[in-house]
């Protein structure tokens, strides 16, 4: 029995990247021998075991043969005679087909170290096309390492296009697609993930609502970059710079879906695109089975991001509508995510990346004023039921109008946007 550290742990160590988990391949063993050694089996489709002390995964060396569609359409063969090189051959990219022996020796039968040096994401073999999930994984690795100068090899991108053209992506489960998307949005360059999928045709297959944004013009006065798809990518870049969590980045990705539905005779203006975007945002979330937290934030940002941009102009009634619609009155902490997404949108424009966003502080102050209005004084007056809610709403509008007036009176040159 021989064990080798494999995959991402080897790759990232060679890159000087943080290593968060380690996976191992065992050559020359059987399931029974692993069990006898105290390992606990967890793999259903092929033998994977957890180390009795570290809990790290140890998989028996295996080969695979395509027998169906999707990323699970494989038969797996494990046996003591399967070599390390055969096991590495089934992997997606050469930079992931690396192993390290106990003495530190790097085993690299497919040129992974050379591709690391040349900053290239390249497939190990033509068997790459047997698993459609590799399209998303490769795009995700491109998003992770783009800041280091990595790019997908042309021949690998061609295979990704082939997989897409064959309709294989349709066989991926929504759970796997969501998992890859969520992980990619958390990388340093999530915009690269979208760009790579766009280039190989996978974006149209998986996120047609986002794909439809490319080529849609916007008013140059507000959007010097003009193209709505490019604007979306720039907003993602800004969300990263703002250290926004993944849910915010997802909302940013979907915030302008309504612009793809603008009638041609109205372009480049996008009147009521916020309302038009609600249905496609819901459709994406349902198709991907996005968690409720992601869904609710994406819908709020889609519907109310222009309210946020125009905050300094809004009357008390509209401010209250904004707070009610985004759930800010119930969970003020979630409103911060909304503000982050809107700021990323405001900055995701050519030449305006460094603009200030006073709307955020203005709305924080307005929300604080509105939440100071409670039911207690109205209950003390003897009001009950709906009458309390109506009185609170009226008082909140009054308070917000006063806040607005006080802000204007104190304004000594605050920037307007």
Q: Is the pLDDT at 413 greater than 70, yes or no?
A: no
CB proximity list for 277: less than 8 A, separation 6 or greater: 254, 255, 256, 257, 258, 259, 261, 302, 303
Q: What pLDDT is attached to residue 187?
A: 97
The number of folded domains in the chain is 2
Q: What pLDDT is attached to residue 80?
A: 84
Angle, in degrees to the nearest 10, between helices 292-309 and 358-371: 110
* Mean of per-residue pLDDT scores for the chain: 93
Over residues 264-282, mean pLDDT: 96
Domain boundary among 111, 145, 180: 111
Does residue 41 belong to any structural domain of this protein?
Answer: yes
Residue 410: pLDDT band by 50, 70, 90 thresholds? confident
Residue 67: pLDDT band by 50, 70, 90 thresholds? low
Helix (H, G, I), strand (E, B) or coil at 232: helix
Residue 63: pLDDT band by 50, 70, 90 thresholds? confident
Q: Is the pLDDT at 71 greater than 60, yes or no?
A: no
CATH number at residue 60: 3.30.460.10
- The lowest-confidence range among 41-55, 141-155, 180-194 is 41-55
Q: What pLDDT is attached to residue 417?
A: 41
Q: Is the pLDDT at 73 greater than 60, yes or no?
A: no
Q: Is the pLDDT at 277 greater than 50, yes or no?
A: yes
Residue 74: pLDDT band by 50, 70, 90 thresholds? low
Q: What pLDDT is attached to residue 68?
A: 53
Over residues 216-239, mean pLDDT: 96
Higher pLDDT, 65 or 24: 24
Domain boundary among 111, 146, 178: 111
Q: Is the pLDDT at 180 greater than 50, yes or no?
A: yes
What are the φ and ψ backbone dihedral angles of 76, each rounded to 5 degrees? -115, 135
Does residue 253 belong to any structural domain of this protein?
Answer: no
Does residue 74 belong to any structural domain of this protein?
Answer: yes
Q: How many helices (H) and strands (E) does the chain have?
A: 19, 11
Q: For residues 22 and 103, what is the distance between their CA atoms, to the nearest angstrom?
A: 16
Over residues 203-212, mean pLDDT: 98
Q: What pLDDT is attached to residue 235?
A: 98
Residue 20: pLDDT band by 50, 70, 90 thresholds? confident
Q: What pLDDT is attached to residue 66?
A: 61
Q: Is the pLDDT at 346 greater than 90, yes or no?
A: yes
Q: Which stretch of DSSP H or E encloses residue 291?
A: none
Give yes or no for a contact between 134 and 90, defined as CB atoms under 8 angstroms apart. Answer: no
Specify which of 209-218, 330-339, 379-388 reaches the highest per-range mean pLDDT: 209-218
The tokens describing 172, both together, are: 């991926």
In which domain, by residue range, is 383 found? Answer: 372-410
Q: Is the pLDDT at 274 greater than 50, yes or no?
A: yes
Q: For residues 343 and 260, what is the distance between their CA atoms, to the nearest angstrom?
A: 22
Q: Which stretch of DSSP H or E encloses residue 351?
A: none
Residue 47: pLDDT band by 50, 70, 90 thresholds? confident
Q: What pLDDT is attached to residue 72?
A: 56
- The lowest-confidence range among 68-82, 163-177, 349-363 is 68-82
Domain boundary among 111, 131, 151: 111
Does residue 95 belong to any structural domain of this protein?
Answer: yes
Does residue 321 belong to any structural domain of this protein?
Answer: no
Q: Is the pLDDT at 325 greater than 70, yes or no?
A: yes
Q: What pLDDT is attached to residue 21?
A: 87
Residue 45: pLDDT band by 50, 70, 90 thresholds? low
Residue 3: beta bridge partners?
26
Does residue 164 belong to any structural domain of this protein?
Answer: no
Does residue 87 belong to any structural domain of this protein?
Answer: yes
- The lowest-confidence range among 102-106, 137-141, 310-314, 407-411 is 407-411
Distance of CA 83 to the CA centre of its chain: 37
Does residue 226 belong to any structural domain of this protein?
Answer: no
User: How much is the pTM?
Assistant: 0.91
Q: Is the pLDDT at 412 greater than 80, yes or no?
A: no
Q: For residues 21 and 39, what is the distance between their CA atoms, to the nearest angstrom?
A: 18
Over residues 2-19, mean pLDDT: 93
Q: For residues 23 and 55, what is the distance between their CA atoms, to the nearest angstrom?
A: 10
Higher pLDDT, 30 or 341: 341
Q: Is the pLDDT at 128 greater than 90, yes or no?
A: yes
CB proximity list for 176: less than 8 A, separation 6 or greater: 71, 133, 136
């Amino acid at each position: 029995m021989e064990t080798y550290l494999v995959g991402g742990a080897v790759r990232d160590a060679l890159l000087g990247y943080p290593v968060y988990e380690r996976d191992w391949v065992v050559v020359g063993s059987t399931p029974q021998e692993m069990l006898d050694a105290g390992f606990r089996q967890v793999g259903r489709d092929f033998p994977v075991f957890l180390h009795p002390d570290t809990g790290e995964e140890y998989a028996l060396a295996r080969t695979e043969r395509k027998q169906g569609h999707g990323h699970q359409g494989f038969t797996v063969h494990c046996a003591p005679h399967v070599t390390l090189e055969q096991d590495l051959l089934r992997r997606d990219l050469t930079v992931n087909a690396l192993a390290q022996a106990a003495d530190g020796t790097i085993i690299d039968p497919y040129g992974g170290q050379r591709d690391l040096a040349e900053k290239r994401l390249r497939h190990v073999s033509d068997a790459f096309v047997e698993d459609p999930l590799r399209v998303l994984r490769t795009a995700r690795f491109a998003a992770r390492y783009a800041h280091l100068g990595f790019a997908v090899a042309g021949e690998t991108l061609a295979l990704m296009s082939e997989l897409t053209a064959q309709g294989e992506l349709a066989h991926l489960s929504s759970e796997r697609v969501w998992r890859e998307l969520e992980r990619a949005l958390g990388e340093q360059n999530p915009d690269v993930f979208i760009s790579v999928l766009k280039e190989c045709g996978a974006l149209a297959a998986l996120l047609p609502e986002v794909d439809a944004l490319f080529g849609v013009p916007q008013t140059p006065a507000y959007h010097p970059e003009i193209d709505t798809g490019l604007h979306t990518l720039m907003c993602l870049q800004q969300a990263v710079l703002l250290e926004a969590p993944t849910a915010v980045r997802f909302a940013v990705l979907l915030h302008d879906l309504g612009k793809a539905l603008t009638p041609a005779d109205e372009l480049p203006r996008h009147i009521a695109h916020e309302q038009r975007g609600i249905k496609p945002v819901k459709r994406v979330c349902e198709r991907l089975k996005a968690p409720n937290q992601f869904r609710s934030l994406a819908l709020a940002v889609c519907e109310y991001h222009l309210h946020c941009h125009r905050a300094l102009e809004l009357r008390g009634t509209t401010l209250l509508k904004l707070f009610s619609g985004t759930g800010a009155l119930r969970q003020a902490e979630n409103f911060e995510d909304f503000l982050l997404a809107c700021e990323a949108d405001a900055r995701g424009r050519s030449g305006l990346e460094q603009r200030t966003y006073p709307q955020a502080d203005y709305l924080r102050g307005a929300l604080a004023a509105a939440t100071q209005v409670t039911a207690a004084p109205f209950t003390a007056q003897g009001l009950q039921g709906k009458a309390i809610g109506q009185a609170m709403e009226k008082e909140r509008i009054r308070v917000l109008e006063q806040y607005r007036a006080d802000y204007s009176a104190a304004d000594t040159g605050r920037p307007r946007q």
